[in-house]
Amino acid sequence: MVVSKDEIMEIRASDHVVLVRQAVRKWSTELGFGLVDQTKIITAASELARNTLDYGGGGTVRLEAVESGGRRGLRLIFEDQGPGIVDLEKALTDGYTTGKGMGMGLSGSKRLVNEFDIVSRVGEGTRVTITRWK
């Protein structure tokens, strides 16, 4: 996989979630994503950025324009140094939440993208990587 362009954005306040959505919209448009694919990755980014902020205590997102086997895609890596997720399986269950949300964000974003990877260590932080191919 070749990364042709990348950028790191801070997620420290709720305004930053809006900025992340706008950046993802811009990048996916540039990559030539269709309207549905655009909306899907923007929505997933919105969910994960908010998780980074609300549950991870803030962090960063790394946007990467990637290419592999003639396909182009957008990869987003959300990282925080928060408390980490104790039970990943539970966290990925529809409707489960430790906060006030619907409990659909993490599992929902997994369904909105082609590739989804989550690494979390209690006390160290969480990293979620998603990729949507064109």
Partner 1 sequence: MSDNGKGLSEVLSKHEADLQADWIKEQTAGSARRTGAIKEVELRDQCKEFLGLVIEALQGGGDLDVRGPRWNPVRDLLANLSRSRGLQGFTPSETASFVFSLKKPLFARIRRDLSKDGEAMAEATLAATVLLDGLGLYTTEVHQKAREEIIARQQQEMLELSTPVVTLWEGILALPMIGTLDSARTQVVMESLLQKIVDTASSIAIIDITGVPTVDTLTAQHLLKTVTAARLMGAECIISGIRPQIAQTIVHLGVDLGDVTTKASLADALAVALERTGRAVRRVRAGS
Nearer to partner 1, 73 or 105 (CB): 105
**Which of 9, 23, 25, 58 lies at the binding interface for partner 1 (CB under 8 A)?**
25
The whole-angstrom separation of Cα 46 and Cα 23 is 11
Closest listed residue to residue 51, CA positions, set 74, 75, 83: 83
Q: Does 1 bind partner 1 (CB under 8 A)?
A: no
**Which of 11, 16, 38, 76 lies at the binding interface for partner 1 (CB under 8 A)?**
38
Q: What is the rounded end-to-end Cα distance, in angstroms, of the chain?
A: 14
Q: Does 31 bind partner 1 (CB under 8 A)?
A: no
Which class for 89: exposed (0-12), middle (13-18), buried (19 or more C-beta within 10 A)? exposed
Which range touches partner 1 (CB under 8 A), out of 69-77, 101-109, 115-123, 126-134? 101-109
Could you tell me the smallest distance in angstroms from the CB atom of residue 94 to partner 1?
5
